[in-house]
Amino acid sequence: MTHSADASRRAAHRAEMRASGLRLIEIWVPDTSAPGFAQEARRQSLLVAAESDFDDMMDFIERNGPQPAGHQGRD
């Protein structure tokens, strides 16, 4: 497939997505394959787990985070 054909397909797909009410965003996310990533993630998770209000934080996240498919409202 040529470059212009690829670009046309991408443009058409993006137009369809916009027509369906969506918008394209781009974000930078951590590189999980980077050296030191796992160690830093572990360090941060241990800090959070050691907080005195850990249970309260987790309850908040569970109440306000994404709900399983078929869930009928928040508790």
pLDDT for the residue numbered 30 = 94
Categorize the per-residue pLDDT at 73 as very low, low, confident or very high, splitting at 50, 70 and 90.
low
What pLDDT does residue 75 have?
A: 52
Confidence tier at 67 by pLDDT (50, 70, 90) = confident
Residue 58 lies in a domain: yes
Range of the domain at 57: 35-64
- Residue 66, pLDDT > 80, answer yes
Q: Is residue 48 part of a domain?
A: yes
Left if phi > 0, otherwise alpha if psi is -120 to 50, otherwise beta: which for 36?
left
- Total domains in the chain come to 1
- Residue 18 belongs to some domain of the structure: no
* CA dist list (Å): 25 to 15, 28, 70: 14, 10, 27
DSSP string over 4-30? HHHHHHHHHHHHHHHHTT---------
In a domain, 72, yes or no: no
pTM (2 d.p.): 0.49
Residue 9 lies in a domain: no
Q: What is the pLDDT of residues 26-61, one digit of tens each?
A: 999 999 999 999 999 999 999 988 989 989 988 998
24 in a structural domain: no
Q: Domain for residue 47, yes or no?
A: yes
